[in-house]
Amino acid sequence: MSATVYLVGIGPGQAELVTPEALKAIGKVSVVIGQPECLLLVEALTRGKEVIAERQSPLGRSRLAVEKAQAGQDVAIISSGDPGVYAIAATFLEYLKDNNITLDVKVVPGVGLAGYAAARLGAPLGNDSAAITLTDQGTPWPVIRKRLEAAASADFVIVIYNPFGKLGPSRLQEALKIIAEYRTAQTLVGVLSKAATPDEQVQITTLGEVNVLALPVDTLLIIGNSQSYARDGRMVTPRLYREGVGY
């Protein structure tokens, strides 16, 4: 038995942002596992394969994949965005460790949600940034709070994933309040909601005006640094280059 588990990122959702490497990995396996909405996106590629929709948890997907791989079948677990960023890669490898399992694993990177959001907004990630998820089921809230303070005080652009955590808007409201202790009310906030769906919304607003209660659950926020600005409907964080200075 030497089956391989592929942890495959398919990007934010459009076929046009799925890489050939992801397609190739899916092509190689006999079993494809993923959340139902993720599997829908690659439906055309999975005909004739065993397809397992697993809605409950990334641990559940990991367990299923290990069972199939240990039975000798190559498996792909499909992840939207990039599997390495708040997604299946860490969870799966952690599952292997916790259960003392060694397997052949390949991580196939994808276009991540932050990169996609940045492209839709303009170029808000042009300078140093911090990524923080408000899903506080894994990381204790005091640790998240400290990270928000550190990122805000050092003038990082801040990407906020899973803004509503499991508690609804209160976490995001608190997070924005922490950031506002270090930034002006005019600080730009880029918002991407329902990425890569027909209902996708892109919005550039400010820390003083962002309406948290009006945001869908499926939202990512990019809080600008002190230099970020908007022009022609785009949010930009400059790199402060001078003539003759390269990367």
Binders of a copy of itself among residues 41 to 80 (CB under 8 A) are: 56-59
Distance CA 125, CA 117 (A): 10
Return the SS3 of 121: helix
Query: H or E segment at 51?
Result: strand 50-53
Could you tell me which stretch among 36-44, 67-75, 142-150, 184-192 binds a copy of itself (CB under 8 A)? 142-150
Query: Rule CB under 8 A: is residue 130 a binding residue for a copy of itself?
Result: yes
Which 158-217 positions form the footprint of a copy of itself (CB under 8 A)?
A: 162
Distance CA 9, CA 111 (A): 7
Which residue in the set 1, 44, 213, 240 belongs to the binding site for a copy of itself (CB under 8 A)?
A: 240
Which residue in the set 51, 53, 64, 123 belongs to the binding site for a copy of itself (CB under 8 A)?
A: 123
Give the shortest CB-173-to-a copy of itself separation in angstroms: 19
| 28 neighbors 6 (Cβ within 8 angstroms) | yes
Contacts of 205 (CB under 8 A, 6+ apart): 188, 189, 191, 211
Which residue in the set 76, 151, 189, 204 belongs to the binding site for a copy of itself (CB under 8 A)?
A: 151
Count CB neighbours of 69 within 10 A. 22
Query: Rule CB under 8 A: is residue 2 a binding residue for a copy of itself?
Result: no
Give the CA-trace dihedral at 89, 92, 95, 101, to 10 degrees.
-110
The residue among 198 and 211 lying less far from a copy of itself, judged by its C-beta, is: 198
Which residue in the set 71, 143, 214, 217 belongs to the binding site for a copy of itself (CB under 8 A)?
A: 143
Give the shortest CB-200-to-a copy of itself separation in angstroms: 14
